[in-house]
A and B are shown apart, each in its own frame.
Chain A
Amino acid sequence: GQNIDQPTEMTATEGAIVQINCTYQTSGFNGLFWYQQHAGEAPTFLSYNVLDGLEEKGRFSSFLSRSKGYSYLLLKELQMKDSASYLCAVHGGATNKLIFGTGTLLAVQP
């Protein structure tokens, strides 16, 4: 089966850096995604890691270690609009589907 763990909530200060961790266990791994979801809206794609290492995209970076079943999303220069839920999702399993974690609710404070 597949299991994904991420913290339920985090709080950070505007202008700071925050790291959201995700650990996973899966039978078959084809990639890890991060999505952002603002309250009342649909999830939107942020980043995608297939190989080990860091993927950087502007203020957002995502890291993957397949041997450790571990990923993190790094948000730099935090802005108030970054307050949202961040969903870690693993692609794999017998039917190659995407399984989402329960999400980390990030609150950015002034």
Chain B
Amino acid sequence: DAGVIQSPRHEVTEMGQEVTLRCKPISGHNSLFWYRQTMMRGLELLIYFNNNVPIDDSGMPEDRFSAKMPNASFSTLKIQPSEPRDSAVYFCASSVRTGEPQHFGDGTRLSIL
């Protein structure tokens, strides 16, 4: 079975540029989560969706961050404009439903210069 698929695996860009991270959850999973991981702050939940609807976006740092889930098999996390402090590993995860074990993608390692 295919796991959670994220793209790109690595992204290096200059500050001020728009960054779009993509995620395909496991088929049949109804909950999708975006996390950010840094050495300083650990693994932080940015936003999560149930049945394509955003439920909790309290972890989204500021208006520069936005996330969408147009259908059950695709989600994007966008940063515009990007800043060096956004450099981190961004993980997408999905689960059958909220409260069930989450399966993580391999992550996108983002570096903003």
A: which residues have CB within 8 A of B?
A: 30-31, 33, 41-45, 48, 87, 91, 95-103
Given A43-B43, A87-B43, A100-B43, A95 and B102 contact (CB-CB distance below 8 Å): no
Mostly, the A contact residues are strand
* A44, A45, A97 interface centre (most CB from chain B within 10 Å): A97
The answer for the CA separation of A98 and B103 in the assembled complex, in Å, is: 13
Are the C-beta atoms of A42 and B99 separated by less than 8 Å?
no
C-alpha spacing A97/B98, complex, angstroms: 7
Interfacial residues of chain B within 38-96, with CB under 8 A of chain A in the complex: 42-45, 48, 55-56, 58, 91
Which B residues touch A91, using CB under 8 A? 99
Instruction: Say whether A96 contacts B99, CB under 8 Å.
Output: yes
**Which B residues have a C-beta under 8 Å from some C-beta of A?**
33, 42-45, 48, 55-56, 58, 91, 98-99, 101-107
**How near does chain B come to A87, taking the closest CB pair, in angstroms?**
7
Q: Distance (Å) between the CB of A60 and the closest chain B CB?
A: 14
- Chain B at the A interface: SS class: strand
* From A31, A42, A102, A103, contact of B106 by CB (8 A): A42
Given A43-B43, A87-B43; A98-B102 close (CB under 8 Å)? yes
**Roughly how many angstroms separate A42 CA and B58 CA in the complex, as a whole number?**
23
Given the known inter-chain contacts A30-B99, A42-B91, A91-B99, please indicate yes or no for A99 contacting B45, CB distance below 8 A.
yes
Shortest C-beta distance, A30 to chain B (Å), equals: 6
A97 to B72 alpha-carbon distance, docked (Å): 19
Given known pairs A95-B55, A96-B98, A97-B56, the reply for A42 and B107 (CB within 8 Å) is yes
Which residues on the A side are within 8 Å of B48 (C-beta)?
97
A90 CB, min distance to chain B CBs, angstroms: 11
On chain A, the residues within 8 Å of B99 by CB distance are 30-31, 91, 96
Shortest CB distance B92–A (Å) = 10
